[in-house]
Amino acid sequence: MKKNFVAAILLFFALFAGQAMACESQCASTTVEKSVAATHTEDHDKSMWQLLTSFYKTTGIYAFTNPKDGVVNGEGEEVSRFHQSWGRIIMIGITLILFYLAIAKGFEPLLLIPIGFGGLLANIPLANMTGDHGFLGVIYNAGIANEFFPLLIFMGVGAMTDFGPMLANPKTALLGGAAQFGIFGTLVGAAALSQFTPLFDFTLQDCAAISIIGGADGPTSIFIASKLAPDLLGAIAVAAYSYMALVPVIQPPIMKALTSKAERMIVMKQQRKVHRLEKLFLPLIVLGLSILLLPESTPLIGAFAFGNFAKESGVVDRLSDTMQNALINIVTILLGLGVGSKLAAEKFLVGDTLGILILGLVAFAVGTAAGVLMAKLMNRFSSEPINPLIGAAGVSAVPMAARVVNRVGMDEKPGNILLMHAMGPNVAGVIGSAVAAGVLISIFN
Amino acid sequence: MENMVAESFKYMILGMGIVFVFLYVMVLVLQLQARLIAKYFPEKPADSGKETAGIDKKKVAAAIAAIQHHKNLRK
């Protein structure tokens, strides 16, 4: 009896509610219809065939096969016919290659997968995802155009970096400086090629943004490129991360060519133990120096020092843990997608990209060579033996470059573990490339 | 741009100079810091480790003696 009563009441309310809702939707639909009717009166008398053809014109198949003049991309720039059809198809092919390299070959998958997927999305016709109101455009404007995401990444890198090996033998930090010759040497080379040959036509700003690839530091490259040459950002970021992934392929031949077997077999003294206070003060010292010498570099070095200070303070493990895990992961996703938006065909498939890829490789090789040569020089004059191989780790690319040094050393003399000795120049290289970036910013601002 | 190469060459000198000055000053400060910290905050954990080891040995000896004594009483 009771049950029936409740059911009846429920039914009553349900009917009531249903009626109210029906009325609401009806009212809404009539107003919508009115406005639609006002604007698209001609739509009503289309035949089925016309509807189908007009739908066909909104498909990807039509957009790929029928490039038109006067089509603009999300940023209001005109896209040529080639870039609308074959260009996009080629770029989608390139993003698939990036996926292959990341998944099958293990090349920097954390970055190449988001960048590649961003590139795939950026090349979809009609969707305009790279525009100001598109998915990728919003991400790009929120954090890359204003150089925000690279700084967050730098903070996380700071929280992950252990300066112990560098503090144990501070002199090796100079090797991290020598490797920055890759940046400035390439700057001169790129300027010469642009001025004296018809191959490239880069401005000095473009040259600076390209040569920063030699610093082998992804976030720094993106930071500088978005400041000095935003149009080249996609190619620069892809080149920087691909070459970082290729460190084990690019560096060993250069290292072997510049050193003798005896030099590669040098065993280095075991490192001293580093006091906790030394590690705690290090970020403050580095930041203090950059405040005094080069305030332009403080956004990068400040973020880095903050991350490292949070780690070494030992009392905010929660924060440092967030910086080196959750936060850096989130920002990596956004940074990758944002950079990927610059892989749109009309931006990437231009003559400049080839120049960037070549100059980036040169910058990387020159940096490695300069580091090794400097280490040879230091070995001549130093009281303690220095294995010249560790100079190659002066390009940042932490910790890949140090691992490569270790492997080359072990190949020559099994049991000669250079990893910790190479970590010193390696982390100094991060500071060195941030300083180099600061110099470039101060020159061009 | 009249002469990009000359311009970029100047940037190279300036850039490498500043990178090296920065890192060299950093090395000097770090060496000074290491010396100061070693002087005023000498590391103690090695000593304290020995002490605890000594105490442990005494305690172990005492425990063994006590057990032996207990066994002797039972006999």
DSSP at A172:
G
**Residues of chain A with C-beta less than 8 angstroms from the C-beta of B43:** 273, 275
Total residues belonging to chain A: 445
**Residues of chain A with C-beta less than 8 angstroms from the C-beta of B14:** 439, 443
Predicted local confidence at residue B49, as pLDDT: 46
Predicted local confidence at residue B60, as pLDDT: 79
From B54's Cα to the closest Cα of chain A, the distance in A is: 24
Predicted local confidence at residue A35, as pLDDT: 46
If one counts every other C-beta atom within 10 angstroms of the C-beta of residue A428, the result is: 28
What ipTM did this prediction achieve? 0.83
Closest-CA residue to A259 (of A427, A418, A429) = A418
CB A170 to CB B31 under 8 A? yes
Q: Any idea where the domains of chain B sit in the sequence? A: 1-42, 44-75
CB A422 within 8 A of CB A371: no
Residue A141 class from Cβ within 10 Å (0-12 exposed, 13-18 middle, 19+ buried)?
middle
How far is it between the farthest Cα atoms of chain B? 106
Percent of chain B with pLDDT over 90: 48
The answer to whether residue A38 neighbours chain B at the CB level (below 8 Å) is: no
Tell the residue number behind the tokens 């938006």, with chain if given: A341
Distances from the Cα of A202 to the Cα of A187, A212, A355, A359, A365, angstroms: 11, 14, 9, 12, 21
- Per DSSP, the residues of A79-112 read --HHHHTHHHHHHHHHHHHHHHHHHHS-SSHHHH
Tell me what the mean pLDDT of segment B6-35 comes to.
Answer: 94
Bridge partner list, A72: A78
Predicted local confidence at residue A371, as pLDDT: 95
The answer to whether residue A293 neighbours chain B at the CB level (below 8 Å) is: yes
Distances from the Cα of B19 to the Cα of A123, A179, A307, A330, angstroms: 40, 10, 22, 32
The closest CB to that of B8, out of A188, A294, A435, belongs to: A188
Instruction: Name the residue of chain B whose CA is nearest to A441's CA.
Output: B15
From A183's Cα to the closest Cα of chain B, the distance in A is: 9
Residue pLDDT, tens place only, A203-217: 999 999 999 999 888
Distance CA A325, CA A341 (A): 25
The answer to whether residue B32 neighbours chain A at the CB level (below 8 Å) is: no
Residue A157 class from Cβ within 10 Å (0-12 exposed, 13-18 middle, 19+ buried)?
buried
Residue pLDDT, tens place only, A194-206: 888 887 889 999 9
Predicted local confidence at residue A18, as pLDDT: 45
CB B18 to CB A435 under 8 A? yes
Predicted local confidence at residue B68, as pLDDT: 86
| Secondary-structure percent of chain B, ordered helix, strand, coil, rounded to 5 | 90, 0, 10
The answer to whether residue A294 neighbours chain B at the CB level (below 8 Å) is: yes
Predicted local confidence at residue A287, as pLDDT: 97
CB B16 to CB A180 under 8 A? yes
Tell me what the mean pLDDT of segment B16-22 comes to.
Answer: 95
Predicted local confidence at residue A16, as pLDDT: 46
CB A187 to CB B8 under 8 A? yes
Predicted local confidence at residue A29, as pLDDT: 45
Q: Which helix (H) or strand (E) holds B70?
A: helix B45-74
Positive/negative CA dihedral, A124, A126, A127, A128: positive
Q: Which stretches of chain A drop beneath a pLDDT of 70?
A: 1-44
State which amino acid sits at residue A320: S
Predicted local confidence at residue A37, as pLDDT: 46
Predicted local confidence at residue A26, as pLDDT: 46
CB B19 to CB A180 under 8 A? yes
Query: Is B66's pLDDT higher than 90?
Result: no
CB A187 to CB B11 under 8 A? yes
Predicted local confidence at residue A4, as pLDDT: 63
The answer to whether residue A187 neighbours chain B at the CB level (below 8 Å) is: yes
